[in-house]
Amino acid sequence: MHSQNSFYENVLFDAIHEPTQIKSVRLISAGAMNQSVLLETTKGALFLKSNHLNSSDVFHQELKGLTLLHKHAPLQIPKTIGAGRIEDQNYLLIEWIKGGYPNSSYWTDLGHGLAELHMATAPLYGLDSDNFIAVLPQRNNFHKSWASFYAEERLEPMLGKAYYDGLIELNFYKKFQKIYSKLDDLVPNEKPALLHGDLWSGNVIVNSNGAPCLIDPAVYYGHREMDLAFSKLFGGFQGAFYEAYNDIFPLEPGFETRADIHNLYPLLVHLNLFGLSYLPGIKKVIKKFI
């Protein structure tokens, strides 16, 4: 415990650049990959994530993503303090968001806030650097068209990994690839939108005022329906959220059908992270469109 406390002290000095006293430490989570703690300090309450991966790139990119969201989203985003590596541990230090219960306008505020975020645009689909979704690399090379970006930077890398790791067979690999040529016709043409990129219920938390706060992004400029579709994949978003979003930034007709196309990416991500239980859902979508 003493060595871990020394790590926390070193993190605070590395990130804040001045002596900061720790008042208390509370474990938030300890998963197979990351450990998360609440640090009560003389600089206030701080949230610290750490791991022992060989590189600190995941946390550096998460910090960049939070910073970009903070610039463009009207919703609360945790303020970033620092990310780095101390000896064999990587860290991300951000503002602690004290939790609460959703207020009466929670879902409306979330819908309006996401719509405003999606109004931030760029000339091309992609981002100026690659990043991660969970711990999986996410390529962000720039493309003029959404169809080519989605096929080459999202679907194909995850599909190839699944095949390389023995999760899918060659005949299904080739069948899946047939959807690439259909994307232009299936998905409406829109300007690139700044996306959260990993928008499921676990990455939206409630602050002490009952308002929504976005965490754990996988940002890039993409098709805005990606965020909306992902929000439907695992439940947790109420109808008032979608109504509020459409009040500000209406979706093109047919989104409910297209959501399956968009969710091929998060389903492939989950296949690669958690295994074969996600393969039937992927096959169902491919059968629907091929």
Residues with catalytic function: 198
| Structure-token pair, residue 204 | 């939206």
Long-range contact set of residues 146-152: C-beta below 8 Å, sequence gap at least 24: 146/183, 146/187, 146/189, 146/190, 146/192, 146/222, 146/223, 147/180, 147/183, 147/184, 147/187, 149/125, 149/222, 150/183, 150/187, 150/222, 150/223, 150/265, 151/180, 151/183
Q: Are the CB atoms for 251 and 231 separated by under 8 Å?
A: no
Q: Are the CB atoms for 44 and 30 separated by under 8 Å?
A: no
One-letter identity of residue 131 = N
| 209 class by beta-carbon count within 10 Å (0-12 exposed, 13-18 middle, 19+ buried) | exposed
The Cα 237–Cα 50 span in angstroms is 29
The CA–CA distances, whole Å, from 107 to 43, 98, 120, 194, 210 equal: 32, 19, 21, 20, 10
